[in-house]
Structure 1
């Protein structure tokens, strides 16, 4: 797993925020957005299925910025910026989830769909995910990775979890500690 590969598996809103690490932006181009949306396809139901445009990237990145600003404030024990909260509300309202009814031959079934261009539907779904995360009681457990060079966020499933990923940062930290304990003494000539 490389530093340019987005981590997935956290709540969707955290996966989105984690696409903007200190290094290169992982949602910088329509192609990168398409790849990330494909990775998240099982969690992004009811959004448009079309190739992303530059405008779609801008819409998704706006939701990411509002979510990141809100999470940063919560991590600092501060009130989230009102503009970020309003931005999430506006994005969600841009393509609300509509439950469309149909008959499957045996019963009435409802399928949730958002209508509009990809940017609006993806932004709405991601904003909804952010709102769900921000209002979930578990948000109080939010952590930033403890690796010195990592800024990724996660919700720990275990109270002793310290890193965004055991494979990415945990191994690197453990190897560095091992090296420090076992490095040869430098000889003074």
Structure 2
């Protein structure tokens, strides 16, 4: 099964190994013709819920964003479109390191997130960069952009693979150099079943 229910919405299962890859996996069937049913992020409400599902936002912030989106629907639509734009560019960059135009798109969003971030220290004095709530409805987009930049700046960037399953193309980290499928239980088993039928025809 490729999905789970979160706050009443179907969400893609988390199997990629990094939030940046999970963002790419909110589109189903990258190599297939674009159709509305392939889109998991169909509106801002789903985007906010998915960001929490992926560990990019906490529940309190997510609830506030969803309420704000109902009051500012035009802004919410714009943020959703920008997130999809980031997702498409990131997918291209991860599979083609030489895709300069797509990289510039990812970099633009990542630099926007970096400019918004604030350095905060906890009670023990340990500091970390955080995205402030006053970033508003753009928070899910900025969190995705930070995740994308994080992935592109680590050795894991070279371990990204695309699932060869029919109507899939989901991305995942192949940390041991042996993983072929996004999910053996789904795409892997489908491929095995097709191979079996082919052998016994």
TM-score tier by shorter-chain length is 0.7 to 0.9
1:125 is matched with 143
Q: Which fold has the larger relative contact order, with Cα–Cα distance below 8 Å and residues 6 or more apart in sequence? A: 2
1:140 is matched with 158
2:182 is matched with 164
1:46/1:113 contact within 8 Å kept: no
The runs of 5 or more residues in structure 1 that have no matched partner are 184-189
Q: What's the TM-score, normalizing by structure 2?
A: 0.71
Structure of greater Rg: 1
2:79/2:137 contact within 8 Å kept: yes
2:159/2:175 contact within 8 Å kept: no
Q: 1:92 aligns with which of 94, 113, 126?
A: 113
Mapping of 1:1-189 within 5 angstroms?
1-2=1-2, 5-10=11-16, 11-22=18-29, 23-41=37-55, 43-44=56-57, 48-49=61-62, 50-52=64-66, 53=69, 54=73, 55-56=75-76, 58-81=78-101, 83-93=104-114, 95-99=116-120, 101=122, 112=130, 114-183=132-201
How far off is 1:108 after superposition? 5.5
The runs of 5 or more residues in structure 2 that have no matched partner are 4-9, 30-36
Deviations 1:7-47 (A, max 9, x none): 31420011011102235210111332243133224x43598
**Helix, strand or coil for the counterpart of 1:16?**
helix
Deviations 1:118-175 (A, max 9, x none): 4322222221111010111121121111113212111113312111111221111111
Root mean square deviation, CA, Å: 3.0
**Helix, strand or coil for the counterpart of 2:27?**
coil
Q: Which moved more, 1:58-67 or 1:145-154?
A: 58-67
1:14/1:153 contact within 8 Å kept: yes
How far off is 1:93 after superposition? 3.8
Number of equivalences: 178
Q: What's the TM-score, normalizing by structure 1?
A: 0.75
Q: Give the Cα separation in 2 of the matches to 1:47 and 1:90.
A: 26
The structure with the greater share of residues assigned to helix is 2
